[in-house]
């Protein structure tokens, strides 16, 4: 029989399958009639008595059991009792012909879900079965929902308590009603200690005003408070590593208002505030570290140039408001580079730290000391009333540095040059005052150093001239304004030209020929000397190639190498490229390097020069005897030639010639070539010849000459040799 339209029949889809009904009755005819009646809507199975019913329930899951009470052997009531004992939750509908009310009551008491008396109407039976199955399905779904809710609550509680953020709720009065476990590691107090307390008790006093808005947040939409930065106080006595200040944590708070679910659209009762607190102490600490590094010198801990400029700008504003003067000084150490070059940067750094300490001890608490870079320090005297007062402080600083410093076993003596400016007389703009003070400092250096020099307007012209010279120097490379001159190096016995020293000159479009001492120091200081040195190498190699192609006798060309050029990573490559570009053998060039430069970085310089020597390039030590090197260090370099400084040759001085004799003897023992510089007289030549000096150069044999004149000299030498053999 089909279910009646509109009846509460469970669908196949709602259960995932057709509901299954067990019919328990000892009468086969009743079993068959029930099976036909409900078989169109449900799957059916039959059991002829209680034992078969219990066996079927043990093997298969049923959605409803239709049970007759009056059965032989094992009554329906006993079946109900056994099902209950086994914990079978399948709903049972008792179908009985017993009209006594007690039968129905007993059946329901023993666990029956429903009771139907025989005879029954088919539609009534189907309706009761459908209702029972529907009720069972709703109960199962409700149970699953409850389980999911319990699991969800469990997971939510776990996530909240293990959250890296501090999560809280407040009541309408601002008292904590809930806090998660994170509060213990964040602030050092337990949950029970915080619940019931007002939020203001954990807020840093300076942040109470801002905290009032976020902790009393009533908005629950996009306008609610987000990422408000505050400081929360830690519990007294807690040790908190990695906190900028052990008494508080820096946090960001996001909060929203909480409201009851309204029973009607007109009700919306405020319950309190829900918030999330994110600890940003580490981030703030990193930001402060970056800020500190941006505005401080990491070696000395002093303010850097940017911070010094900021201090000066604020002092100028303050001074203008109060009509108060101030003084700016810039101090630069004299010859500090020698310490770095000779003893290494670690000694130089240690020296700077000690110098910073001494300078700070000479200044008042309100004065500002900064390291502007390298060996340059800035001093701000915000209360200086006159230039005289600044001068007194400047002399005090110089005197403080005069006492020797002992650094890593070395006793060091340091002097300083100081430039000073006075505001507002010399200017009222920070950058202007700093620039003028630096010009005054350079002026003090040019006068021998170890002095203080106040800014004067006339200094601007000289400094501008230096700036113009630097600009012209950089353009000179582009405009090909440099030219090489050559000074011959002559054999003392035969008078033959063995080589030339290449000497740079600057053909300035307005000043004419400019000698090296007027621009090389500036080129060294500004770094222009590196590309200029590479140009000299290329030009000398090109000239050598011209002489070789012309069939002139082989004459090496010596090229001076600057300290900064030697220190470049590509120094070896630049030399070899100059030779390869002109198809020259490496011995065609000889590199001249002063012994002081060799000692600047022995390990690195030795490695580069050994690499060049292995390729065939010759090395000459220039100005030998004037430096501080020893044979122990010089033996590490592949030296071919020693050049005796002109100071040991000039005027044929006895002491000078004694030193020259020692150098020549040492070179002869080491099988090195020797060239004496500055030979200007026949007497000097004869003395050097008697000492068996290999070669000489100087005005006696010719001043530095152009490439054309050097070529002519070589040609004359060839013609002379031809004449002798003819």
Is the pTM higher than 0.85? The answer reads no
> Is 601's pLDDT higher than 60?
yes
> Is 600's pLDDT higher than 70?
no
- What's the pLDDT band for 342 if we cut at 50, 70, 90? low
> Is 322's pLDDT higher than 60?
yes
Supply the pLDDT for residue 171: 92
Q: Are 93 and 113 in contact (CB under 8 A)?
A: yes
Q: Which residue has the tokens 């109960």?
A: 139
Q: Higher model confidence: residue 106 or residue 456?
A: 456
Q: What is the DSSP string of 183-237?
A: HHHHHS--HHHHTTSBGGGGB-GGGHHHHHHHHT----STTS--SEEEEEEPPTT
> Is 104's pLDDT higher than 60?
yes
The Cα–Cα gap between 478 and 473 comes to: 9
- What's the pLDDT band for 283 if we cut at 50, 70, 90? confident
Q: Are 637 and 595 in contact (CB under 8 A)?
A: no
Supply the pLDDT for residue 158: 59
> Is 466's pLDDT higher than 80?
no
- Partners of 46 in beta bridges: 23
| Residues 6+ away with beta carbon under 8 Å from 287 | none
Supply the pLDDT for residue 240: 43
Q: Are 78 and 50 in contact (CB under 8 A)?
A: yes
> Is 325's pLDDT higher than 80?
yes
Phi-psi sector, 616: left (phi>0), alpha (psi -120 to 50), beta:
left
% the chain with pLDDT above 90: 40
Strands 92-96 and 114-117: parallel
Supply the pLDDT for residue 462: 67
SS3 371: strand
Tokens of 208: 């109470």
Supply the pLDDT for residue 447: 81
- What's the pLDDT band for 152 if we cut at 50, 70, 90? low
Supply the pLDDT for residue 3: 37
The values of phi and psi at residue 609, to 5°, are: -70, -35
Residue among 472, 539, 478 at smallest CA distance from 512? 472
Supply the pLDDT for residue 651: 53
Classify burial at 58, counting beta carbons within 10 Å of its beta carbon; exposed 0-12, middle 13-18, buried 19 or more: exposed
Supply the pLDDT for residue 481: 92
Q: Higher model confidence: residue 705 or residue 525?
A: 705
Q: Are 69 and 87 in contact (CB under 8 A)?
A: no
Supply the pLDDT for residue 262: 65
Supply the pLDDT for residue 292: 85
- What's the pLDDT band for 267 if we cut at 50, 70, 90? low
Supply the pLDDT for residue 634: 66
Tokens of 74: 């094992």
The Cα–Cα gap between 349 and 274 comes to: 55
Tokens of 491: 């054999």
Q: What is the mean pLDDT of the chain?
A: 85
The Cα–Cα gap between 567 and 584 comes to: 24
The Cα–Cα gap between 369 and 100 comes to: 110
Q: Higher model confidence: residue 60 or residue 109?
A: 60
% the chain with pLDDT above 70: 89
Q: Are 282 and 251 in contact (CB under 8 A)?
A: no
Residue among 80, 167, 166, 91 at smallest CA distance from 131? 91
> Is 653's pLDDT higher than 60?
no
Q: Rounded mean pLDDT of 219-245?
A: 73
Most confident of 31-40, 445-454, 612-621: 612-621
Tokens of 55: 């066996």
- Write out pLDDT tens, residues 131-142: 888 888 877 777
| Residues 6+ away with beta carbon under 8 Å from 144 | none
- Write out pLDDT tens, residues 16-44: 578 999 999 888 888 888 888 888 888 99
């Amino acid at each position: 029989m089909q279910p009646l339209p509109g009846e509460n029949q469970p669908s196949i889809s709602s259960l995932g399958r057709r509901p299954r009904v067990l019919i328990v009755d000892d009468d086969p005819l009743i079993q068959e009639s029930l099976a036909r009646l409900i078989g169109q809507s449900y799957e059916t199975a039959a059991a002829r008595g209680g034992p078969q019913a219990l066996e079927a329930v043990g093997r298969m899951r049923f959605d409803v059991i239709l049970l007759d009470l009056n059965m032989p052997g094992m009554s329906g009531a006993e079946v109900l009792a056994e099902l209950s004992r086994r914990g079978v939750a399948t709903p049972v509908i008792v179908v009985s012909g017993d009209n006594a009310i007690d039968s129905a009551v007993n059946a329901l008491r023993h666990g029956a879900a429903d009771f139907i008396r025989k005879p029954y109407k088919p539609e009534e039976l189907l309706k009761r079965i459908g209702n029972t199955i529907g009720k069972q399905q709703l109960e199962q779904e409700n149970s699953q929902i409850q389980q999911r809710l319990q699991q969800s609550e469990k997971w939510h509680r776990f996530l909240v308590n293990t959250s890296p953020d501090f999560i809280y709720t407040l009541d309408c009065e601002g008292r904590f009603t809930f806090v998660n476990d994170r509060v213990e590691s964040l602030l050092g107090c337990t949950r029970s200690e915080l619940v019931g307390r007002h939020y203001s008790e954990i807020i840093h006093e300076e942040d109470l005003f801002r905290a009032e808005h976020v902790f009393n947040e009533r908005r629950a939409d996009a306008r609610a408070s987000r990422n408000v930065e505050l400081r929360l106080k830690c519990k007294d006595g807690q040790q908190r590593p990695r906190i900028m200040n052990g008494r508080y944590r820096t946090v960001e708070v996001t909060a929203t208002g909480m409201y009851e679910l309204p029973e009607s659209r007109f009700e919306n009762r405020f319950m309190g505030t829900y918030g999330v607190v994110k600890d940003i102490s580490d981030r703030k600490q990193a930001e402060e570290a970056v800020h500190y590094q941006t505005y401080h010198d990491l070696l000395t801990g002093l303010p850097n140039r940017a911070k010094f400029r900021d201090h000066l700008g604020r002092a100028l504003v303050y001074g203008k408001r109060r009509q108060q003067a101030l003084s700016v000084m810039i101090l630069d150490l004299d010859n500090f580079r020698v310490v770095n070059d000779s003893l290494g940067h670690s000694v130089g750094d240690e020296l700077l730290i000690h110098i910073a300490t001494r300078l700070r001890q000479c200044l008042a608490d309100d004065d500002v000391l900064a390291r502007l870079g390298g060996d340059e320090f800035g001093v701000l005297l915000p209360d200086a009333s006159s230039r005289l007062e600044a001068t007194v402080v400047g002399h005090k600083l110089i005197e403080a540095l005069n006492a020797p410093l002992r650094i890593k076993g070395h006793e060091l003596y340091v002097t300083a040059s100081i430039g000073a400016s006075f505001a507002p007389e010399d200017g009222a703009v920070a950058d202007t005052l700093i620039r003028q003070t630096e010009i005054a400092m350079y002026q003090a250096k040019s006068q021998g150093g170890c002095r203080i020099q106040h800014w004067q307007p006339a200094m601007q012209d000289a400094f501008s001239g230096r700036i113009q010279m630097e600009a012209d120097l950089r353009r000179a490379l582009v405009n090909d304004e440099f030219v090489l001159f050559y000074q011959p190096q002559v054999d003392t016995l035969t008078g033959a030209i063995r080589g030339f020293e290449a000497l740079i000159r600057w053909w300035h479009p307005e000043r004419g020929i400019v000698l090296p001492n007027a621009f090389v120091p500036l080129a060294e200081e500004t770094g222009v000397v590196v590309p200029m040195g590479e140009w000299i190498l290329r030009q000398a190699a090109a000239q050598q190639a011209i002489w070789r192609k012309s069939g002139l006798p082989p004459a090496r060309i010596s090229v001076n190498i600057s300290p900064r050029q030697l220190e470049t990573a590509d120094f070896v490559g630049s030399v070899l490229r100059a030779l390869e570009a002109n198809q020259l053998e490496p011995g065609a060039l000889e590199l001249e390097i002063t012994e002081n430069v060799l000692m600047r970085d022995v390990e690195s310089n030795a490695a580069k020069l050994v690499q060049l020597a292995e390729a065939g390039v010759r090395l000459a030590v220039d100005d030998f005897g004037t430096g501080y090197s020893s044979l122990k260090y010089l033996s590490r370099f592949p030296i071919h030639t020693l050049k005796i400084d002109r100071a040991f040759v000039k005027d044929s001085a006895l002491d000078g010639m004694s030193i020259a004799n020692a150098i020549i003897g040492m070179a002869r023992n080491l099988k090195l070539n020797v060239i004496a510089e500055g030979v200007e007289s026949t007497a000097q030549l004869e003395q050097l010849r008697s000492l068996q000096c290999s070669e000489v150069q100087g005005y006696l044999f010719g001043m530095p000459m152009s490439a054309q004149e050097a070529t002519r000299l070589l040609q004359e030498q060839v013609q002379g040799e031809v004449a002798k053999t003819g």
